[in-house]
């Protein structure tokens, strides 16, 4: 007799499609918040040189000590905080959820937000509570405080700034939510290189706040490295759930190298912030664009007139420009599109095609 997945796995897991990535070969890729810039030639050569003596026959340093020290220094992770590395921050989200799985208490997040909080909660059989944002995509403070009391979540994820909206929540309200939360509060700062505010200096302190960051959006998405800064009591506990050698040897060496040459990535982030202002202003001036959400990230969410979101997305796609049709999720995001900020040339191509799409 053959055993089928449905015999052993939960229906809700099987009902959920695997994480889908759009086909993008040959297109201007503005859908995934990647840094569009490559490294200058000499830096690339120096990087390959730095990789040349990595011992691929050996397991990587299990504690990833050198790269952790480099991250702590480069990002000024508070001395009292522990620092746990993940294979992308996605893995840290998974570790956090598996840590609280047996508590029976839910994961809670304002919605719409980064989908992995809910996807990974569901995969682990942990209930997920979504608290709708206000129509301007800021936190609904009273609703959130009520939900904390009613559901007593084990974990609250606050993407700061949020994805897919780009909005930075009111920091005072974030602190209030963290203080009222009976469980853990994780501030997900995936977009820190583009943001005007951070909670990292509070991580590991008396507030109990945890701060999660990633190297992905800064320009190292291919390496898969994220970190969680929290009290040592918590990073020590979570470390028990981490797979041994979760950060491979090439990633450890490459991130150390990149942080030693951080000025290059910082300059790229600076250009992208300038381009964000340019694209936001151009979008706001386009007839047919209903609103542009203020962004603290390297992408911009904008709303089109009723019913136009999907057709405009398709027009752009056929023109060779891939953005994200977040409106497909429906609800508050109906007719909203999300564009990642690219190089000046890519942004011009996007704005030209969008202008044409809105005219037709």
Ligand X SMILES: *Cc1c(COP(=O)(O)O)cnc(C)c1O
* Spatial distance between the Cα atoms of 171 and 159, rounded to a whole number of angstroms: 12
Alpha helices in the chain (DSSP H): 5-8, 11-15, 41-51, 65-75, 89-100, 116-123, 141-151, 171-180, 232-239, 249-260, 262-284, 309-318, 344-359
- Cis amide bond preceding 161, omega within 30: yes
Report CA 92 to chain centroid distance, whole Å.
12
Please give the residues from 21 up to 60 whose contact with ligand X meets the rule CB under 6 A.
33
Question: Sheet harboring 226-231: ordered strands across?
Answer: 81-86, 226-231, 210-214, 184-188, 155-159, 107-111, 128-132
Question: Is the separation of the CB atoms in 203 and 211 below 8 Å?
Answer: yes
Give the interface segment with ligand X, choosing from 82-90, 197-205, 256-264, 311-319 (CB under 6 A).
82-90
Query: Considering the rule CB under 6 A, would residue 90 count as an interface residue with ligand X?
Result: yes
**What would the x/- binding string for ligand X be over residues 324 to 343, using CB under 6 A?**
--------------------
Q: For ligand X, give the closer residue by CB, 289 or 299.
A: 299
SS3 at position 338: strand
Give the interface segment with ligand X, choosing from 86-94, 174-182, 329-337, 343-351 (CB under 6 A).
86-94
State the minimum distance, in angstroms, from the CB of residue 294 to ligand X. Answer: 17
Question: Is the separation of the CB atoms in 183 and 159 below 8 Å?
Answer: no
Q: For ligand X, give the closer residue by CB, 90 or 349.
A: 90
Tell which one of 114, 199, 257, 313 touches ligand X (CB under 6 A): 114
Q: For ligand X, give the closer residue by CB, 167 or 317.
A: 167
The CA-based angle 268-296-336, given to 5 degrees, is 110
Query: Considering the rule CB under 6 A, would residue 188 count as an interface residue with ligand X?
Result: yes
SS3 at position 189: coil
Query: Considering the rule CB under 6 A, would residue 163 count as an interface residue with ligand X?
Result: yes
Query: Considering the rule CB under 6 A, would residue 89 count as an interface residue with ligand X?
Result: yes
Tell which one of 60, 106, 166, 226 touches ligand X (CB under 6 A): 226
State the minimum distance, in angstroms, from the CB of residue 131 to ligand X. Answer: 16
Q: For ligand X, give the closer residue by CB, 89 or 252.
A: 89
- DSSP 8-class letter at 240: T
Query: Considering the rule CB under 6 A, would residue 190 count as an interface residue with ligand X?
Result: yes
Using Cβ positions, the residue closest to ligand X within the complex turns out to be 88
Query: Considering the rule CB under 6 A, would residue 109 count as an interface residue with ligand X?
Result: no
State the minimum distance, in angstroms, from the CB of residue 116 to ligand X. Answer: 7
Size of the site for ligand X (CB under 6 A): 13
- DSSP 8-class letter at 137: S
SS3 at position 131: strand
**What would the x/- binding string for ligand X be over residues 286 to 315, using CB under 6 A?**
------------------------------
Is 26 buried (19+), middle (13-18) or exposed (0-12) by CB count in 10 A?
exposed
Indicate left, alpha or beta for 243 from its phi (over 0: left) and psi (-120 to 50: alpha).
beta
Q: For ligand X, give the closer residue by CB, 89 or 251.
A: 89
Query: Considering the rule CB under 6 A, would residue 110 count as an interface residue with ligand X?
Result: no
Question: Is the separation of the CB atoms in 190 and 159 below 8 Å?
Answer: yes
CA pseudo-torsion sign 315, 135, 33, 273: positive
Q: For ligand X, give the closer residue by CB, 188 or 346.
A: 188
Q: For ligand X, give the closer residue by CB, 214 or 256.
A: 214
State the minimum distance, in angstroms, from the CB of residue 174 to ligand X. Answer: 14
Give the interface segment with ligand X, choosing from 72-80, 83-91, 131-139, 280-288 (CB under 6 A).
83-91
Query: Considering the rule CB under 6 A, would residue 214 count as an interface residue with ligand X?
Result: yes
Positions that interact with ligand X (CB under 6 A): 33, 88-90, 114, 159, 163, 188, 190, 214, 216, 221, 226
């Amino acid at each position: 007799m053959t055993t089928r997945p449905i015999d052993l796995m939960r229906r809700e897991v099987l009902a959920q499609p695997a994480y889908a990535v759009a086909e993008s070969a040959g297109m201007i890729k503005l859908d995934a918040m990647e840094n569009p810039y490559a490294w200058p030639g000499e830096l690339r050569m120096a990087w390959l040189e730095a990789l040349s003596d990595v011992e691929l026959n050996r397991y990587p340093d299990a504690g990833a000590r050198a790269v952790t020290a480099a991250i702590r220094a480069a990002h000024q992770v508070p001395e009292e905080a522990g620092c746990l590395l993940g294979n992308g921050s996605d893995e840290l989200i998974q570790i956090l959820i598996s840590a609280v799985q047996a508590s029976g208490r839910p994961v809670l997040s304002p919605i719409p937000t980064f989908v992995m909080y809910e996807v990974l909660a569901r995969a682990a059989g942990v209930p997920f509570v979504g608290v709708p944002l206000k129509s301007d995509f800021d936190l609904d403070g009273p609703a959130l405080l009520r939900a904390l009391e009613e559901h007593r979540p084990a974990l609250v994820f606050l993407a700061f700034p949020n994805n897919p909206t780009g909005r930075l929540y009111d920091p005072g309200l974030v602190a209030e939510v963290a203080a009222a939360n009976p469980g853990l509060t994780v501030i997900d700062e995936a977009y820190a290189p583009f943001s005007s505010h951070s909670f990292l200096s509070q991580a590991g302190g008396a507030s109990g706040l945890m701060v999660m960051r990633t190297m992905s959006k800064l320009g190292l998405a291919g390496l898969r490295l994220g970190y969680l800064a929290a009290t040592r009591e918590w990073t020590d506990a979570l470390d028990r759930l981490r797979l041994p050698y979760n950060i491979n040897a090439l990633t450890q060496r490459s991130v150390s190298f990149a942080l030693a040459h951080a000025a290059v990535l910082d300059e790229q982030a600076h250009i992208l912030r300038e381009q964000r202002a340019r694209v936001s202003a151009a979008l706001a001036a386009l007839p047919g664009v209903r609103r542009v959400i203020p962004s603290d990230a390297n992408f911009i969410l904008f709303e089109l007139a009723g019913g136009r979101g999907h057709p405009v997305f398709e027009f752009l796609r056929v023109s060779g420009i891939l953005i994200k049709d977040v409106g497909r999720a429906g609800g508050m995001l109906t007719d909203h599109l999300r564009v990642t900020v690219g190089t000046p040339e890519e942004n011009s191509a996007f704005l030209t095609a969008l202008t044409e799409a809105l005219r037709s």
